[in-house]
Amino acid sequence: MTDDQRRARYLDALGIDQWVRRVMPLASEVAATDSSDAAISVGTTISVGALDWPALRACVRECQRCDLHRTRTQTVFGVGDMAAHWMVVGEAPGADEDREGEPFVGAAGQLLNAMLAAIDLPRETVFIANVLKCRPPDNRDPKSEEVAECLPYLHRQVVLVQPKIILAFGRVAAQNLLGTEAPLGKLRGSVHRFGALNTPVIVTYHPAYLLRSPGEKRKAWEDLKFARRIYAELNVGA
């Protein structure tokens, strides 16, 4: 199967007409920067802002900072390239993710893969994480106290990855990442900024929502093209 045929298949899954590929410039590496904005105490002698990847993963695995640890099967830390230029942020694990220990699996994960591949981003080339690392019972929205306890882990992941751009999938992910109560419709189509690195954030619909509302897929496709354009502009002349 050729690259054009593979892309056509991905776009068909999105319900989008054929897209003509545009060659993007290569991105330069991001310089290491300060991580103090993520420093939240864990225990008595260490802070999240001081953790490297292995220590952060172990901290999440053993976390009991909120009641979700009582009902989880396992934590869902995140997956992908730990030096990726693109980072994907979702809401929280669902039943499939809780069982497999990986974000965005099942039908929503397959659609996410198609969405990323449509803009030439194989899943393994990005880093994927959620606001919450444990599944809320019955897939309910996260409680504010759960987000407050878990968000420092995501902040540290962003600092460690140092992505060029972040894709926030869904209202809950976008609102908690950006610290806003604005509805998703008002957050789409704009470049937001996150953290000390001033990382661009682009907001779009969650794949699970698109599976329930396929008529919104074209809007999501516009968001992805917008994100790709912003990424290209960031790296012109880099």
Residue 180 to residue 230: CA distance in whole angstroms: 22
Residue 128 to residue 172: CA distance in whole angstroms: 16
Residue 238 to residue 236: CA distance in whole angstroms: 5
For residue 197, the model assigns a pLDDT of: 87
3-class SS of residue 215: helix
pTM above 0.85, yes or no: no
* Per-domain residue ranges of the chain: 32-235
Q: Residue 192 pairs with which residues in a beta bridge?
A: 201
- pLDDT tens string, the chain, 238 residues long: the values are 555 554 555 455 455 544 333 333 333 333 333 333 333 333 434 689 999 999 999 999 999 999 999 999 999 999 999 999 999 999 999 999 999 999 999 999 999 999 999 999 999 999 999 999 999 999 899 999 999 999 999 999 999 999 999 999 999 999 999 999 999 999 999 999 999 889 999 999 999 999 999 999 999 999 999 999 999 998 764 5
Name the superfamily (CATH) of residues 32-235.
Uracil-DNA glycosylase-like domain (3.40.470.10)
Residues 6+ apart with CB under 8 A from 168: 89, 174, 177, 178, 187, 201, 202, 203, 204
